[in-house]
Structure 1
Amino acid sequence: MPDVLTQTLLTAYQTHRHRLDGVTLYLACSGGRDSLSLAYACHLLYQAGQIDRPPILLHVHHGWQSANDDWAKLVETWAIQHGFDYQILPVTLPKNSETHARQARYDAMLSVMNDHDVLMLAHHAHDQAETVLMRLIDGAGVQGLSGMKSWQAKFGHDKQVWLWRAWLELSREQITAFAWHHKLPFVDDLTNTDTAYVRGVLRTQILPLLSTINPKAIANIARSSQLLCETAAWQDQAVDEYLVQLSHEQNHLPYQAVMAVQAFERLPNLAQSAVLHHWLQGDEPLPPSQQTTQSVLELMARTDNDHRSQIIWQGAYHRYVICRYDAYLYRYRDDVWQLLTAGVQTDELPNLQHEHQHELGELALVADGRVQIILKCQQAITHAQKVEKTTPIIIGKHSYKAKKLAQQLRLPPWLRGHLWQVVVADGGHWLIAPMMVWRLPDGERVALDNFAPIGRMVYNG
């Protein structure tokens, strides 16, 4: 008769078989009771012929404690004894902190995985309760309080993998009983109960206290997070429909997003905060704080034409800069923002006077020696000239330069140093800035999709 842990895992395998076909399955194994129990449950199901393959064990060795060498050896020995493929992944942490350690572990594991692979995690109901309480303390909204998802996309190293938590509804006591019953040689990480960390305080003090008030407190918190998850899914669906109304040609990029303020203001008032919350979040696992969202709302409502204000948000993956110009709100990934605003001298850019470089159909619009935004044309570039403050540009019947030209084009200040006049082989004359194109001589702004048959812009970062 299968126990509840292996039965729960088998049911999860059967339910999500379509997600597992054609991808490599990994399991994050620290050597602790939770992950070693999950690995052993996989072993039992594989030995019984109920799953087609065991996962590859990934152990991250971060070297915080002298015992880490012993844990890595334990996982290695146990994996060999039970027929698992495994990898030991050493990492160096810049800081001894929960956040840095967690991100370093994910980075190390993602580095050996391929796109759409699946990583099994042994998180359970107690972990879920701790996560929800931590986010509650931080003032999270519906999305954050919905807790960890049983299936969650994770982005990194230019790929997307899936995190799979099959045991979220099981308790720590059930896993402990399973580990003792099967005599698993797990290790106890003392940092898990270290009250120097928030999670340690919750685990050793807060959750036990809540359980004395209500013995079902942990299960109830997990249940509430599931209900909020359903609410968040409904909200996401409604927000996605509104985001379609805010679609902008420059949104289809991993490093920037653009929103028309007037289109946003036409949304129902009750929806605006949630829609902005999701728009700012982008591909991050969690949205910014409500305070950050409120600051952006205030920025959008300003009428003083101050285009220098910037709001900084540190996401889990990247740092972002949010700013406004004219009737548009911009969200840039910080590395691109630094590239655009640091500025480069003309003589630091590629020498475009050489004919063979024109024939390549490539032009570095902006570069800082490390990364660059490149215009790639499908036809030869016959002429390329940086537009300086003294360069006159004929638009219609008038000549513009410097600030007047920028105002005519509605070109944001941070892009004005990266404006080029380009002529291609078919005789077409264009003004090009990063992710913006105008046709000459009429000065009509051209959608990037319409410009695609001629060329495209690539961030080489």
Structure 2
Amino acid sequence: MTSSAIIPYPIEPIAALPSDEHLAAVFLNSMAEYGAQLHARRIWLACSGGRDSLALAALCVQLYRQGKLSFLPQMLHVDHGLQADSQHWAAHVAHWAKAQQMPCHILPAQVTGSDEQAARQARYDVMRAYMNQEDVLLLAHHADDQAETVLMRLIQGAGVSGLSGMQPWRVQSQGAHRMVLWRPWLTIRRADISAYARRLKLPYIDDPTNATGDNVRSGLRRDIMPVLAKYNPNVIDNITRSAQLLSDADTTVRAQAVQDLQQTTISSLQQPPVQRVLNVDKLAKLPLYRQRQLLHHWLGQDEPLPPAKQLVDDVLNLSQRSDHNHQTELFWQGRKHAYTIRRYRQQLYRLSSDWLAWLNIPITEQERTLAHIVLPEMSSVDSSPLSINLRTSEDVIWQLQVAPNALVRLLDSHVGEVGHQTALRIRPLDRQQRLKTALSTRPQSGKKLYQTLGMPIWLRESLIVVSMTFLNAETVENEIPILLLSPFDRWILSTDDLAMRTEAQTLAVFIDSHLCSNHTR
């Protein structure tokens, strides 16, 4: 059984047929431009079976057989079942690839949603999952596609980045997985590809949805582009050239934004990608247009699509406020994650919803006898830190790290039975507990302590007190708070008890040198 959408040419080997010099030259020039990046990478070719992708596959076969191409891409065809004949199309593509002795893989996909964007996302997701890390995906997008893309983004209100269109070489990331999208034909006209397909008598699939006008792209192609061509026959080339100029401008803007980001980022509070923090004072010193570009870049980190202009304006207004209201929350649903943007004092935070959920995980009180920590390590030459988990989830671990050798010296100062009952106690900070840090002259608790520490509201449930407990000569338990921890900072605590002061000072040196908190993503 066949499909009426398939151009009725027989499937025959095309390697020996004449190739197109212009299409070949543009492809080979692009390959030379990205030769260093292509080296030692596996190359795949996304092939729907349509005219453009089948023509690109045909050209690769011809150049490979002619010895002008050192690799033959493996074809990937995605069948997401949106068309009644999709299974026939997949079989047709596989049959054509077999006739050219070209490897071909048919990938089934499930589409969540009914629009073209959902189908596109499903295709990329299934191909990315099939490909290896850093592999290259060859795409047949051309100048007409580029012009349609730019117009689509223009009517959606895109900025410089969006109006620069598709890029010939782009690294696409999804979590830890990276692949490269390579588009060598962005300067080629659709008419040139059509002529090449006719000369080769390619039995390509003419998808009927491409001309219905039911989606934005096909509507622009059918209704708008012919009208624009009446005003200027060179409209496609002109829009493509504008996209290239805007791409150059975008590169300049991004470079400035990256430089500004380096100057305004608060490195000690960074936890990419879940928490990113800017210094509001340094942000305010920039010209207004650079503030907007910086916030656009800062918000869009870790996301494939940029934030809306309205969000950038709202965040800019938040950064410019002079009141002390720290309750304002701005929300953004990115493609990968949802985010909350908040301000605390002169710090601007972009917090992922996953990170905020992690900060709400309860902290359990723990107690570890020092002898039990150290004795298993006494005979070992390995002095690597011992880790005590403070809060864990599938993605994030926060640990207290203790150096065994330092604890050996500490135990030596507590001989006999007393030493063996010395322990570290770890528990969440009680709002009523009074503590003295180097930041204040007297013990503080609750709101005053939070303000002294400069602790944002969402981090206050993540304060942990580390205490040392031991028995005195009368076997009465004594507890000395020695360290206050947050996921991003630590404060050595002091005591006004004269009998404990020397002990606390000795312990402070040990803590400062060997005790730290660590969280990883």
Could you say whether these structures have the same fold, taking a TM-score greater than 0.5 normalized by the shorter chain as the test?
A: yes
Q: Which of 235, 250, 257 is 2:276 aligned to? A: 257
Distance 1:77 1:344 in 2: 55
Q: Name the CA shift for 1:174/1:302 in 2 (closer, same or farther; >3 Å).
A: same
Instruction: Classify the secondary structure of the residue corresponding to 1:400.
Output: coil
Distance 1:105 1:221 in 2: 27
Q: Residues 408-447 of structure 1: matches in 2 within 5 Å?
A: 408-422=452-466, 429-434=482-487, 436-441=488-493
**Quick check: 1:127 aligned with 2:171?**
no
Distance 2:388 2:97 in 1: 51
Deviation for aligned residue 1:429: 4.7
Q: Residues 196-215 of structure 1: matches in 2 within 5 Å?
A: 196-215=214-233
Deviation for aligned residue 1:186: 1.3
Contact 2:396–2:519 under 8 Å retained in 1: no
Q: Which of 161, 185, 188 is 1:170 aligned to? A: 188
Contact 1:365–1:433 under 8 Å retained in 2: no
1:73-123 CA-to-partner distances (Å, cap 9, x unmatched) read 122222222222232222212211122222222211111223322111111
| Higher CA-based Rg | 2
More deviation, 210-219/267-276: 267-276
**Quick check: 1:365 aligned with 2:391?**
yes
* One-letter amino acid of the counterpart of residue 321, structure 1: T
* One-letter amino acid of the counterpart of residue 518, structure 2: R
**Quick check: 1:390 aligned with 2:432?**
yes
Q: Name the CA shift for 1:45/1:357 in 2 (closer, same or farther; >3 Å).
A: farther
Q: Which of 66, 74, 81 is 1:48 aligned to? A: 66
Q: Residues 32-111 of structure 1: matches in 2 within 5 Å?
A: 32-111=50-129
Distance 1:378 1:53 in 2: 53
Structure 2, unmatched stretches of 5+, are 1-18, 375-384, 408-423, 469-479, 496-511
Q: Which of 304, 329, 339 is 1:285 aligned to? A: 304
1:339-378 CA-to-partner distances (Å, cap 9, x unmatched) read 33xx3344xx5x74467899851424364xx544432636
Distance 1:217 1:452 in 2: 67
Distance 1:149 1:442 in 2: 58
**Quick check: 1:406 aligned with 2:450?**
yes
**Quick check: 1:301 aligned with 2:301?**
no
Q: Name the CA shift for 1:428/1:184 in 2 (closer, same or farther; >3 Å).
A: farther
Q: Name the CA shift for 1:73/1:325 in 2 (closer, same or farther; >3 Å).
A: same
Q: Name the CA shift for 1:363/1:161 in 2 (closer, same or farther; >3 Å).
A: same
Contact 2:20–2:196 under 8 Å retained in 1: no
Distance 2:149 2:264 in 1: 32
Q: Which of 245, 248, 254 is 1:230 aligned to? A: 248
Instruction: Classify the secondary structure of the residue corresponding to 1:126.
Output: helix
Q: Which of 304, 321, 326 is 2:345 aligned to? A: 326
Contact 1:388–1:417 under 8 Å retained in 2: no
Q: Corresponding residue for 1:447?
A: none
More deviation, 183-192/322-331: 183-192
Q: Corresponding residue for 2:293?
A: 274
**What percentage of aligned pairs have identical amino acids?**
37
Instruction: Classify the secondary structure of the residue corresponding to 1:273.
Output: helix
* One-letter amino acid of the counterpart of residue 183, structure 2: R
1:364-417 CA-to-partner distances (Å, cap 9, x unmatched) read 4364xx544432636469442222323333313422223222212111111111
Contact 2:135–2:180 under 8 Å retained in 1: yes
Deviation for aligned residue 1:8: 1.2
**Quick check: 1:141 aligned with 2:173?**
no
Distance 1:44 1:410 in 2: 66
Deviation for aligned residue 1:258: 0.4
Instruction: Classify the secondary structure of the residue corresponding to 1:395.
Output: coil
Distance 2:402 2:126 in 1: 38
Contact 2:270–2:277 under 8 Å retained in 1: yes
Deviation for aligned residue 1:451: 9.6
So what's the TM-score if we normalise by structure 1?
0.88
Contact 1:378–1:455 under 8 Å retained in 2: no
* One-letter amino acid of the counterpart of residue 431, structure 2: K
Q: Name the CA shift for 1:14/1:400 in 2 (closer, same or farther; >3 Å).
A: same
Instruction: Classify the secondary structure of the residue corresponding to 1:130.
Output: helix
1:218-238 CA-to-partner distances (Å, cap 9, x unmatched) read 111111111111111122222
1:267-324 CA-to-partner distances (Å, cap 9, x unmatched) read 1233211121111111333421221111111111122322222222233333322111
Distance 2:466 2:207 in 1: 61
Instruction: Classify the secondary structure of the residue corresponding to 1:263.
Output: helix
Instruction: Classify the secondary structure of the residue corresponding to 2:443.
Output: strand
Contact 2:398–2:517 under 8 Å retained in 1: no
* One-letter amino acid of the counterpart of residue 399, structure 1: P
Q: Name the CA shift for 1:82/1:398 in 2 (closer, same or farther; >3 Å).
A: farther
1:161-190 CA-to-partner distances (Å, cap 9, x unmatched) read 211110000111111111221122211222
Structure 1, unmatched stretches of 5+, are 444-449
Question: Which stretches of structure 1, 4 residues or longer, exceed 6 Å deviation after superposition?
Answer: 354-359, 450-453
Contact 2:153–2:163 under 8 Å retained in 1: yes
More deviation, 187-196/52-61: 187-196
Deviation for aligned residue 1:64: 1.3
* One-letter amino acid of the counterpart of residue 26, structure 1: W
Contact 2:485–2:517 under 8 Å retained in 1: no
> How many pairs does the alignment contain?
443
Deviation for aligned residue 1:428: 11
So what's the TM-score if we normalise by structure 2?
0.78
Distance 1:419 1:60 in 2: 50
Distance 2:298 2:110 in 1: 33
Q: Name the CA shift for 1:61/1:246 in 2 (closer, same or farther; >3 Å).
A: same
